[in-house]
Amino acid sequence: MIEKVIESWHQLLRGEYPSGLDGLLADDVVFYSPVVFTPQQGKELAKLYLGAAGGVFGNASSGQGQSSGGGLQYTRQIMSGDSAMLEFEATMQGKYVNGVDIIRCNAEGKIAEFKVLLRPLQAVNLVHQQMQAMLEKMKSRS
Is 60 exceeded by the pLDDT of residue 84? yes
What distances in angstroms separate CA 106 from CA 62, 78, 84, 123, 124, one per listed residue?
A: 31, 17, 12, 31, 29
Closest to 47 in 3D by CA, of 15, 22, 13: 22
Query: pLDDT tens, 30-56?
Result: 999 988 889 999 999 999 989 888 888
Averaged pLDDT for residues 93-104 = 94
Helical (H) or strand (E) element with 94: none
Least-confidence region, from 40-49, 94-103, 111-120, 122-131: 122-131
Averaged pLDDT for residues 80-107 = 95
Kindly indicate the confidence band of residue 64, based on its pLDDT and cuts at 50, 70 and 90: very low
> At a CB cut-off of 8 Å and minimum separation 6, what does 68 contact?
10, 13, 14, 57, 74, 88
Structure letter (DSSP) for residue 107: T
Cβ neighbours around 115 below 10 Å, total:
16
Top pLDDT among 136 and 27 is at: 27
Q: How many CA atoms lie within 13 A of 22 on its CB side?
A: 2
- pLDDT averaged over every residue in the chain: 87
Domains and CATH numbers, the chain: 2-121 (3.10.450.50)
pLDDT at 60: 52
Kindly indicate the confidence band of residue 107, based on its pLDDT and cuts at 50, 70 and 90: very high
Sheet holding 95-105, edge to edge: 40-41, 25-32, 111-119, 95-105, 83-92, 73-80, 66-67
Closest to 109 in 3D by CA, of 41, 23, 40: 23
Give the global pTM. Answer: 0.86
